Structures are given as structure tokens and as C-alpha cells.
Amino acid sequence: MSETTLREVMRTFPQGVVVVTATGDEGPRGITVSSFISLSLSPPRVLVSIWKESRAHEAIDRGRFVVNVLAEDQGALSDHFARPSLTSDEQFRDVAAAGAPPKLSGCLSYLDCRVVERVPASDHTLFIGEVEGAEMGRDGKPLVFYSREYWGLGSTVHKRG
């Protein structure tokens, strides 16, 4: 299996986009993540996959993080937090956010999480977070990543019965 083939195949699967924020030794950190899932409702848990070499890894590993669910008009914010070279100050200098870990303004929703499990997975860590708080943000549709581009949702194609 080649990495190129796997990337090509994975591009056919649309994914929602979130920014995971946490507070580390150098201050607040954020990282754009598309490897995010709801793991269970009882207990309420989510899973995020974070590259071990990312600057956000240490901050998330400290035990608390927020999942900021991006709206379809927040592609530039996603790109901003996808830049691994930015310092904490550079990440949050012109970004409206509040709290620790920070919640980014204008998102669709927020999940306040406490790390309950860390699973090593190759060059990533799977952080399982217990959701201790959930909050709706503004109305809108989510940002979707598909075939190396950002998309919004179109019309419903099938109503579930």
C-alpha cells in the first residue's frame, strides 16, 4: 500500500472540520483536525487524533481541550490553525477567543473535554475525551473538507424515514 494511494482514496471521504484548543506551557494552542468522532453518548466521549510532533500535542496531553466545530464560512480560520510553525501568540493574536482552553468566536458548537485515555497510534496519539460541557454557538452549516477543498453542505438528498 502506497501513501499516495491511501491519500487519494481518503480524499473521497468528506470530513467535518474542527479546531481543537488547549492550554500548554507556552500558552494557548490550537490545531485544525478532521480526525474527530463522537465515540459514545453514555458516557459522553469523543476522540481526536493528534500528530505527536505537533505543538498542540503537549497542550492537549495536559488533560483538557475544547472542540470548536467550524461553520462553513470559517475556512480561513481552519487554514490559520493548520499552520504548525505559528507560536501561541501568533495563533491567537488576531483571533477572537475566550477562556482556557480557548473557545473560538463564531463556531457552530463547542465541547469542553477532559482527557480520560491516551492511545498511542503510530505517529499520532488518540485522545479520548469525556465531554463535561456542550454548548451551541451560532446557527449555520458546518465546514466540510473533501478532495483537498473546503465545502459547505448543499440540499438534502434523502430524508430518513
pLDDT digits (tens, 9 = 90+) for 50-73: 999 999 999 999 999 999 999 999
Within a domain: 67? yes
* 158 CB-near residues (< 8 Å, 6+ apart): none
Structural domain tally of the chain? Answer: 1
Look at residue 71 in the predicted model and tell me its pLDDT: 97
Q: Which helix (H) or strand (E) holds 91?
A: helix 88-92
Within a domain: 147? yes
pLDDT tens digits for range 74-129:
999 999 999 989 999 999 999 999 999 999 999 999 999 999 999 999 999 999 99
Within a domain: 160? no
Within a domain: 53? yes
State pTM to two decimals: 0.94
Cell of 88: 501561541
Report CA 160 to chain centroid distance, whole Å: 27
Within a domain: 2? no
Cell of 120: 498511542
Residue 17 has φ and ψ, to the nearest 5°, of: -120, 130
Within a domain: 157? no
Within a domain: 44? yes
Radius of gyration from C-alpha coordinates of the chain:
16
Within a domain: 5? no
Q: Write out the residue range of the structural domain in which residue 120 sits.
A: 14-151
103: domain CATH number?
2.30.110.10
Lowest-confidence pick of 61-70, 74-83, 131-140, 146-155 = 146-155
